Amino acid sequence: MARPVVAIVGRPNVGKSTIFNRLIGDRLAIVEDKPGITRDRIYGISDWNGKSFSVIDTGGIEIDGEDMMLKSIRMQAELAIEEADVIVFMCDAKTGITLADEEVAQLLFRSGKPVVLAINKVDNIKKVEDTYEFYSLGFGDPIGISGSHGTGIGDLLDAIVNNLPDLIEEEYDEDVIKVALIGRPNVGKSSLVNAILGEERVIVSDVPGTTRDAIDTPFERDGQRYVIIDTAGMRKRGKVYENTEKYSVMRAMRAIERADVVLVVVNIEEGIIEQDKHIAGYAYEAGKASIFVVNKWDVVEKDDKTMKNFETKIKDHFLFMTYAPIVFLSAKTKQRLQKLLPVVKHVAQQHALRVQTHILNDVVSDAVASNAPPTDKGRRLRINYATQVATKPPTFVVFANDPELMHFSYERYLENKIRAAFDFEGTPIRIFTRRKSDES
């Protein structure tokens, strides 16, 4: 099941990134008092009253040039309208309603999407009356909030949750492997879909962003059923969209949420850039099985070290995903294409693997015997036992005398031992430490 999507929309400097951080409970976005400063992360997960949803800060979608500001704001609103289930429209109590606010309001009003109107910088009770003028925008009661003080965030979350749609059950059987292709524009995602399917199902062009719509394509190979979820580009064309690298996140995140296996497609001609790390990071954070697919293998000059050198480069750049296998291929010539689906099937099996508790505890006991936990101020972590509590991704709880004594390096050591014992190739694994008395 895919989470509903909530997008935060508003003109620059109304505090979108601060509220984004409040909603996801983490300092993922950079907050600075300059328009367009959000650069690193525009997507996170929030939970409120038992409901989970994805949050997007559209302020992370940047356009070059001051003269593009209104176009940028309009584009962000259009992105939110197209992709989000609920839109948080943020305005600024200090400045009141501006021309840009009115333009965004018209777009949102016509969309028919649920809109929650949030007025930021209501830092004290006297500022509440500054929200009254925003009734004229036509979205009902404005919610006064303060990003800097955190006031009103609970009311905002209540309003968001009240407007969320119900989760839609996945329409495919459990044994169907759902595969999402992600990657920046022009790495060859659509060509790869065509190559796998053996037919021209997807529009292919040399211009980045020419895939026209989201596509689910079921197919069967060697008795295994698959569904390819292709992350499409924007439906609307134009320089504003083509110049925006991060718009693809809004489509990719939905595909990632639904997928079992994520193919991170990299163009060997262009090498690895920072955006590739961001895109792969979403798959990692979502706990999905992943494979690096190095496309355009046919066009590079090769010797006996080329593949090994590029593998090393990928592992160096993606230290957080060293478990992900790497497949080199050419979507255009279908060179090495036959190697891909067996790896997809294997990592999907590892992603769903459940290990028996007694065997898991034998592995953990051997790991502790080989390398005892270090002491901290005279106290030593004592592990009682471990159990697997979930799959997709495999998730383990380690019960111990004091969770605070579990150093991240020792947790990594246990993860490596568990991964080595049970393979778990291609999938992240999660480990949580709990006090033994916390067990219910």
Residue ranges of the annotated binding site are 10-17, 57-61, 120-123, 183-190, 230-234, 295-298
How many Cα atoms within 13 Å fall on the side-chain side of residue 423? 14
> CA–CA separation, 379 vs 30, rounded Å?
37
- Helix axis angle for 153-163 and 16-24, nearest 10°, is 80
> CA–CA separation, 319 vs 312, rounded Å?
10
> CA–CA separation, 194 vs 182, rounded Å?
15
> CA–CA separation, 14 vs 59, rounded Å?
10
Q: Where are the alpha helices (DSSP H) in 187-273?
A: 189-197, 239-242, 248-258
3-state helix, strand, coil in the chain (%, to 5): 40, 20, 40
Q: Residue 115: CB partners within 8 Å, gap ≥ 6?
A: 86, 87, 88, 89, 108, 109, 139
How many Cα atoms within 13 Å fall on the side-chain side of residue 334? 9
| Three-class HEC string of 166-184 | CCCCCCCCCCCEEEEEECC
> CA–CA separation, 320 vs 301, rounded Å?
29
- DSSP, res 258: H
> CA–CA separation, 188 vs 231, rounded Å?
12
> CA–CA separation, 275 vs 256, rounded Å?
16
Alpha carbon 246 to its chain's center: 12
> CA–CA separation, 178 vs 258, rounded Å?
7
Q: Residue 407: CB partners within 8 Å, gap ≥ 6?
A: 373, 374, 376, 381
How many Cα atoms within 13 Å fall on the side-chain side of residue 437? 2
Task: Show binding-site residues for GTP.
Answer: 10-17, 57-61, 120-123, 183-190, 230-234, 295-298
